A and B are shown apart, each in its own frame.
Chain A
Amino acid sequence: DVKVTQSSRYLVKRTGEKVFLECVQDMDHENMFWYRQDPGLGLRLIYFSYDVKMKEKGDIPEGYSVSREKKERFSLILESASTNQTSMYLCASSFLDEKLFFGSGTQLSVL
C-alpha cells in the first residue's frame, strides 16, 4: 500500500514564526501536492511538484513556499505564519495523471 507520511499530526505556532511541514511518500511517485482544508471551503491546492526541484503554484500559493530536493519528500514552508493560515494541511502523492494518495493531515494552529 502507498504510504504518505506527514511529520506532525498537530502543530501550534506563533504569528511570525517560520513553519516547516514535511511530507514523505514511499511509492516513488513523481507528483506531490499540498492542500489546505477549511470548513465550508473544501480542499484547496497550494502548491504541487512534478519532479525533483520543480514546483508549480496552485490556487492559493500566497504566503507559502515549497521545496522538493528529493523525490520522496515535499516540504511546505510558511515563511511568516499568520492566524489566517490556521488550517488542516494535507499532503498527497500520485503517479502521473492518476488518483492521489493522501497523508493523515497536519492540523496547524497559529496563535
Chain B
Amino acid sequence: GESVGLHLPTLSVQEGDNSIINCAYSNSASDYFIWYKQESGKGPQFIIDIRSNMDKRQGQRVTVLLNKTVKHLSLQIAATQPGDSAVYFCAALRRVNSGYSTLTFGKGTMLLVSP
C-alpha cells in the first residue's frame, strides 16, 4: 500500500525566510501529488499539485519539487509570512483494489512563523 510521511512534525522559521517542507512516499506507481494547508479550525485547502511527468511546478510564492528517483517531494514557500502558519499535508494518489483512486495523506508538518 501507500504510505506518505513528512520528515519533521514542526518547522519554525522567521518571517521573510524561505521555508521547505519535505515529504516521502512509498508507492512508485503514484503519479499525482498535492500539497494542502490547514489552518486551525478549518478544512484543508489546496495549495499546489504536481503530476509525475513534471519535476517542478511553481505557484504564487510556492514551489513543489518532485524527485521520483528517491520518492520525495518538497514544498518551498518563499518569503514566509505569519499568515503561512498552519499545518501542511502532502498527499499522493493511489489506486485501490476496485480500480478507483484515492488520496493518501501524510501526517502533517506544523509551520510556525515568528515575526
Contacts and interface: CB of A to CB of B under 8 A. Distances in A.
Interface stretch (B41-49, B56-64, B77-85): B41-49
Nearest to B35: A99
A41 B107 contact: yes
Interface residues of A, number: 22
Interface residues of B, number: 24
A40 B5 CA distance: 12
B42 A104 contact: yes
A33 B105 CA distance: 13
Interface in A19-60: 33, 35, 40-43, 45, 48, 50, 56, 58
Decide if the interface of chain A is mainly helix, strand, loop or mixed.
strand
Contacts of A43: 44, 89, 105
Interface string B24-42: 0000000010101000011
A41 B4 CA distance: 12
B52 interface: no
Given A97-B93, A105-B42, A56 B100 contact: yes
Interface of A: 4, 33, 35, 40-43, 45, 48, 50, 56, 58, 90, 92, 97, 99-105
25 contacts: A4-B43, A35-B105, A40-B107, A42-B105, A42-B107, A42-B108, A43-B105, A45-B103, A48-B100, A50-B100, A56-B96, A58-B102, A97-B32, A99-B49, A100-B34, A100-B44, A100-B91, A101-B46, A102-B36, A102-B43, A102-B45, A104-B41, A104-B43, A105-B41, A105-B43
Interface of B: 32, 34, 36, 41-46, 49, 89, 91, 93, 96, 98, 100-108
